[in-house]
Structure 1
C-alpha cells in the first residue's frame, strides 16, 4: 500500500539531508509493535533482513539557504510498504495528529491519498528517491548504473524481496535498465550514501514489479531510498 501526503508549511526550514528525520517521523507514527519489528530487524530471509517499506524525497517548491531548504507552501511525501495494515494505521495517525515536524520546519497534513498500483502497460518508471545498490566487500561498495555488476546486484535484490514476501523463488527473468540517470550523494546519520536518480525500464513479472513498487528497489529502502513511480504519474497532480 502506498500513501502520499500533502503537507502545508507553517514555518521553519528542513535540513538538506533530512532522510533520518523523515524516517524517525514515520517510525514514531507507527503502532509500537510494528515500529519495534521494523526498527529492530524486519523480515528475515537467509542472512539478510528486509524492512519492506520505503519513502520518497520531499517534493515541493523551495529555495536553498545554506544547509537548509525553505519550502514555499506545500511539501509532498509518499510512504509505501507491503504491509497494508500498518500503512492504514499510519494514515489514521496522521489523520488524528496532523501536526508534523521535520527539523525546524512545522507542517500540517493538508490531504492524504492512497495511490493504487496502476496497470502494467507502461514498463517505464522514474525514481522518487535514489536507488542505492551495494556490494559487500571489506567495506560497503556503492555501485552505479554504468558499472557492469550494477544490474546483477539490483536484480538479485528484487528476487530476494519476492522470496521473503511470497515464500517462492522467482523463475522468470528480471531486468532493470536505466535510460537516464544522475549520481546522488546523501548524508544519513553522518554517513555518505551514493545512489542514482533517473528513468528506467523494469521488465519482470507483475508480482516482482509490485513488490519493488511497495518495498523499494535496491538497498537501504527504510532510510528513504529506492522508491519509484510509473512514468507519467505526478505526485503533485495526485494530491492537487
Structure 2
C-alpha cells in the first residue's frame, strides 16, 4: 500500500540537502506500539543474517524554493508532502492511529509543522508497469581492492548487474517476509527516460542511486514486493520507492 502525508508550516521549511534521516525518524516516531516499534527499529525481517525493514519513503515531492549550496540546505515551501509504502498493514495502522491521536505539531528537523492531510492510495499492480522512482534506487556490491581494502561499487541502470541484483534483492525480501521461495522469480527492470544520479549522505555515509522512469516486469509476487517494500537496497533509509506513472498523471 502507498500513503501520502502532507505537512503545513507557518513558514518556509529549511532542511539539510540530505534529509533522509529526519524523515525516517518521523516515521519511526509515528509507530505508537512498543513491541512493533522495537521490531522495526532493531530487528526487521531476516534472511541470511540480513535485516529487511520492508518499507520505504520518497523524497519530498515539492521542489525547493532555494538551494543554499554553501550551507548545504534546501528551503522548501510552507506546504510539503511525501509518499511512504510498506508490506505490512500494521505499519499503516500504527502510523495512522499515532497521527490522529498525536499532539498538534510535528517537528521536521528544526521546523514545526502540522499534518494537513493523509491519503491512502491503492496501486493495482500488474506484471508489467511503467514506474517513477520517487526516491533514488540504489544497488551495489562490496569489492576488495588490490590493497585488500573494501570498496562499495554502485551500479547504474545501464549495467546488466543493476537489474540482476535488484531481482536477487526482491527474492531475498520475499523469503524474509514469507519464509519460502517465490513460486516464480522472474523480474526485469529497464531504464526508460530522465535517469539521474543522486548522491545523499545518511549518518555520514555516502549512498548513490538513480531516479527517473523505469519499466519493470516480473512475477506478481516480486512486483508486489517491489511496490510495497521498494526497489534495491537502503529502502528504510528513503531509497527506491516507486509509484505507477499513471497515478502521478492523475495528480
Same fold, TM-score > 0.5, yes or no: yes
- Choose the corresponding residue for 2:208, options 194, 205, 210: 194
1:150 aligns with 2:159: no
* 1:8 and 2:3 aligned: no
For the 8 Å contact 2:128–2:215, the answer to whether it is kept is no
Correspondent of 1:62 among 61, 64, 72: 64
Q: Which moved more, 1:217-226 or 1:59-68?
A: 59-68
1:179 pairs with one of 192, 198, 208 = 192
CA distance in structure 1 between the aligned counterparts of 2:121 and 2:5, rounded to whole angstroms: 10
Point out where structure 2 has 5 or more consecutive residues left out of the alignment.
144-149
1:139 partner SS: strand
Distance in 2 (alpha carbons) for counterparts of 1:224 and 1:235: 23
Cα displacement (A) at 1:35: 2.0
User: How far apart, CA to CA, are the structure 2 residues paired with 1:28 and 1:81?
Assistant: 16
Residue of structure 1 equivalent to 2:123: 117
Query: 8 Å contact 2:127–2:220 — kept in the other structure?
Result: no
Contact 2:128 2:216 in 1 (8 A): no
Could you list the runs of 4 or more consecutive aligned residues of structure 1 that deviate by over 4 angstroms after TM superposition? none
Judged with a 3 Å threshold, the aligned counterparts in structure 2 of structure 1 residues 214 and 235 are, in CA distance, closer, same or farther, namely: farther
Aligned-partner Cα distance in 2 for 1:91–1:225: 22
The answer to whether the 8 A contact 1:54-1:226 is kept is yes
Give the unaligned 5+ runs of structure 1: none
> How big is each residue's C-alpha offset from its partner over 1:188-236, in whole Å with a ceiling of 9 and x where there is no partner?
1111110000111111122211111111110000000010000121299
Q: Can you list the C-alpha shifts for 1:80-136, whole angstroms capped at 9, x where unaligned?
A: 111101211101112222522222222111111111122428611111100010112
When the two chains are superposed, the root-mean-square deviation of aligned CA atoms in Å is 1.9
- Aligned counterpart in structure 2 of residue 107 of structure 1, from 97, 113, 126: 113
Q: Distance in 1 between matches of 2:236 and 2:171?
A: 18
Larger radius of gyration: 2
CA shift at 1:155, angstroms?
1.0
Asked if the contact 2:138–2:239 (Cα under 8 Å) also holds between the matched residues in 1, the reply is yes
SS in 2 for 1:17: coil
Q: Distance in 2 between the 1:229 and 1:94 partners?
A: 23
